[in-house]
Structure 1
Amino acid sequence: AAYDATATPSAVIGRVEAGVEAFVDGDKTPDGRPGAIVQFWLTDDLAKFEKELSYRIRQDILVKPFTRVFSITENPVGAIGMMESVGHCGDGYEWEIEEFGRKMINVPIAVPDFQIESELAYAEGIMGGNFWYMCSTKEAVLKAGRIIIDTIMEVDGVCTPFGICSAASKPETNFPEIGPSTNHPYCPSLKERLGEESKVPEGVNYIPEIVINATSQEAMNLAIKKAIDAIIDIEGVERISAGNFEGQLGEHKTNLLDILKE
């Protein structure tokens, strides 16, 4: 349910993106069962976020046996009521209960029953931090990528909505209806075609990207540093870089060299 609900990152096309922050034992969940901490992200359209979030909950979590949804957002700035967008899946037969020290909505379903906290809190954070690990071999892409994802999951407050991303994009495009398109100067297959315009270094055949969303700048920086430190000596990892976009994308600027010096 956690992986299904956070699949298909779609913020770049105006929809929600999400990621699994961590899997946790029962001593860290309200109902004492093993669970997952998941993050859902959208820009500043709260009404649209509520609708998109409800789709993920209804279609990817409610339909899985024995699932519950709790709110654990730290330092929230508001909350979204879940009765109208999720609770009414019970077709009027749903009811509210006090359980696990929280106010819950009980939705009757054929494998009894789905429960969700009556309000889910939300907060502000930072989307789209990134770095690239440039590789000479396919084996390095996958080995380093898996280590990166596992390492980042050890950091509180962060998620990687794309996992190992093979298609880094750029803000400008020749086809606006598509949304962000390929970052062509960094495509190894275009190196000969682009000539001097190509920015692919010698010896580099693959440029995977890691995208990170974080609840704070501190969490973002820590995740990037720990991830890079974990792969820097892997054979086939040739260089580390990041997408800058001349500082035009987003409000927050993170200098990769400064992070690595911390």
Structure 2
Amino acid sequence: MEINGIEIEDTYCEIFDGTCVRAIITADNQQIVERAAYDSTSTPGAVIGRVEGGVESFIDSYKTPDGRKGAMVQYWFGMDDLEKFEVELSYRIRQDILVKPFTSLFDATPEADGYIGMMKQVGHCGDGYEWEEELYGREIIIVPIAIPDFKIEKRLGYQKGFMGANFWYMCQTREAVIEAGQKALEAINKIEGVITPFDICSAASKPETNYPWIGPTTNHPYCPSLKPKLKEESLVPENANFIPEIVINGLNMESVEKAMQVGIEAACEVDGVTGISAGNYDGKLGKYKLHLKDLFKF
């Protein structure tokens, strides 16, 4: 199968279950909203037992609970441990959102499977002086701080979703890596309910490793610089000098599939892209398989 003359490999990516908190960050101006949103979602950490996130979209003031500038963000956790998720999420909120001037955080999970209370790990940053009010039709914790005050919804909803969908786009040039990646991300960002936690990712990994204390390490057969050393073991195509990856998490499978489709189509518009593939591990990582050929009806 081809798109614009670019071969789409007959392969699949693996997708695994995750838990997502979807929330709205607001602030008085766009710069602060963007900084809080990007800072709190900047470190993809699911593979090492931490939270990872992404900015789903920036939203107009008339769509936010308090009528201010806003960002729709997602925070994901790959382990079945809500208590640890609560702690890890609190680090992102406390260190990246609460500390920025005039910020607030509200629940935006569309179909919550349950709720995580925010008092224990975030509200008590008020050192016992925090209080609760009903504001904007929501139960809000007020955390007194030096630029008064941080507001956070008393409970943030969480729901099950899908993590780790991915595609690789083989490139001949450095320019194609960036241009195709940016085009793919722009297309994906138009799909509601998905994020790209790594944006353009340069380090595809594998679960098997010689150094288990690190976690996933480099997927060495796909490293172009190792091709001379690996010889027949190398899986780098002849016409590829770079193999970037786009990873997608989504609230539902339909959104993930659509994001994969539009991202691949956008990447295939760029000169220097020579092929599309995906990372999989023979079904060892994720229980869902998304075949690239099923994304397109030709």
Give the TM-score of the pair, scaled to structure 1: 0.98
- 1:129-148 per-position Cα deviation (integer Å, ceiling 9, x unaligned): 11001100000101111111
2:101 aligned with 1:70: no
Q: Which residue does 2:33 correspond to in 1?
A: none
Q: Share of identical aligned residues, percent?
A: 63
Q: 2:144 aligns with which of 103, 108, 111?
A: 108
Taking the aligned partners of 1:139 and 1:123, their CA distance within structure 2 comes to 38
Q: 2:59 aligns with which of 24, 36, 46?
A: 24
Taking the aligned partners of 1:136 and 1:28, their CA distance within structure 2 comes to 43
Taking the aligned partners of 1:28 and 1:238, their CA distance within structure 2 comes to 41
Taking the aligned partners of 1:229 and 1:73, their CA distance within structure 2 comes to 29
Amino acid in structure 1 at the alignment position of 2:211: F
Q: Which residue does 1:8 correspond to in 2?
A: 43
Taking the aligned partners of 2:186 and 2:178, their CA distance within structure 1 comes to 12
Q: Which residue does 1:212 correspond to in 2?
A: 248
- 1:205-245 per-position Cα deviation (integer Å, ceiling 9, x unaligned): 00001111111110100000011111212101111100121
2:267 aligned with 1:231: yes
2:96 aligned with 1:45: no
Amino acid in structure 2 at the alignment position of 1:143: E
Alignment of 1:130-209 (within 5 A): 130-209=166-245
Following superposition, the deviation at residue 108 of structure 1 comes to: 0.9
Which structure: greater strand fraction? 2
Taking the aligned partners of 1:253 and 1:215, their CA distance within structure 2 comes to 16
Give me the CA root mean square deviation. 1.0
Q: 2:71 aligns with which of 36, 39, 44?
A: 36
SS at match of 1:177: coil
Q: Would you say the 8 A contact 2:180–2:269 is kept in 1?
A: no
Q: Would you say the 8 A contact 2:51–2:88 is kept in 1?
A: yes
Count of residue correspondences = 262
Which structure: greater helix fraction? 1
Which range moved further: 19-28 or 58-67?
19-28
Following superposition, the deviation at residue 260 of structure 1 comes to: 2.5
Name stretches of at least 5 consecutive residues in structure 1 with no aligned partner: none
Higher relative contact order, chain-length normalized (CA < 8 Å, sep 6+): 2
Following superposition, the deviation at residue 192 of structure 1 comes to: 1.1
Give the TM-score of the pair, scaled to structure 2: 0.86
Q: Which residue does 2:94 correspond to in 1?
A: 58
Taking the aligned partners of 1:169 and 1:261, their CA distance within structure 2 comes to 30
Q: Would you say the 8 A contact 1:126–1:252 is kept in 2?
A: no
Taking the aligned partners of 2:196 and 2:43, their CA distance within structure 1 comes to 12
Name stretches of at least 5 consecutive residues in structure 2 with no aligned partner: 1-35
Runs of 4+ in structure 1 over 4 Å off: none
Taking the aligned partners of 1:149 and 1:24, their CA distance within structure 2 comes to 18
Q: Which residue does 2:10 correspond to in 1?
A: none
Following superposition, the deviation at residue 261 of structure 1 comes to: 2.6
Taking the aligned partners of 2:229 and 2:202, their CA distance within structure 1 comes to 20
